[in-house]
């Protein structure tokens, strides 16, 4: 089992749609969680951190379920500019810590 697994993509959605991505992680000692977005041929950029109580930033909502070891990202009212690859990132506690990036889920938002 991969340490961090994401929904296989690509997701093709129309503008205005709501889309949800899930990500599972294998190490129950994982401490912190993030969503990044990566545009084609660009560097990954932090989208949002994921907190235990869930958190929202405009059209984006992130949730964490420690019992089931998954995190999710919900995008409401999709825009063309949301087209990108979304990376799930997990920090494991391994004495020091270890950051694991998921392989990413590709999103295409179409007019």
Partner 1 sequence: NAGVTQTPKFRILKIGQSMTLQCTQDMNHNYMYWYRQDPGMGLKLIYYSVGAGITDKGEVPNGYNVSRSTTEDFPLRLELAAPSQTSVYFCASSRGDQPQHFGDGTRLSIL
Task: Using CB under 8 A, list all residues that contact partner 1.
Answer: 31-32, 34, 41-46, 49, 87, 89, 91, 96-97, 99, 101-104
CB of 14 to partner 1, least distance (A): 25
Cβ proximity to partner 1, 14 vs 43, nearer residue? 43
Taking the complex as a whole, the smallest distance from the CB of residue 61 to partner 1 amounts, in Å, to: 18
Provide, rounded to whole angstroms, the least separation between the CB of residue 108 and partner 1: 15
- CB nearer partner 1, residue 5 or residue 17: 5
Give CA–CA dist 78/18, Å, rounded: 6
Residue number, 18 or 94, with CB nearest to partner 1:
94
Nearer to partner 1 (CB atom), residue 55 or residue 91 = 91
> What single-letter DSSP state applies at residue 81?
G
Burial annotation 6-40 (CB, 10 A radius, 16+ → b, else e):
bbeeebebeeeeebebebbbebeebeebbbbbbee
Quote the least distance from Cβ 41 to partner 1, whole Å.
8
- Residues ≥6 apart with Cβ < 8 Å to 109: 13, 14, 15, 17, 78, 79, 80, 81, 82, 83
């Amino acid at each position: 089992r991969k340490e961090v697994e994401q929904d296989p993509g690509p997701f093709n959605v129309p503008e205005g749609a709501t889309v949800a991505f899930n990500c599972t992680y294998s190490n129950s000692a994982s401490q912190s969680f993030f969503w990044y977005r990566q545009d084609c041929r660009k560097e990954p950029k932090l989208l949002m951190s994921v907190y235990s109580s869930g958190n929202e930033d405009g059209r984006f909502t992130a949730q964490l379920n420690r019992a089931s070891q998954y995190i999710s990202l919900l995008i409401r009212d999709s825009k063309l500019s949301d087209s990108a690859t979304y990376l799930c990132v997990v920090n494991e506690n391994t004495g020091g810590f270890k950051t694991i990036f998921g392989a990413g889920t590709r999103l295409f938002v179409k007019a």
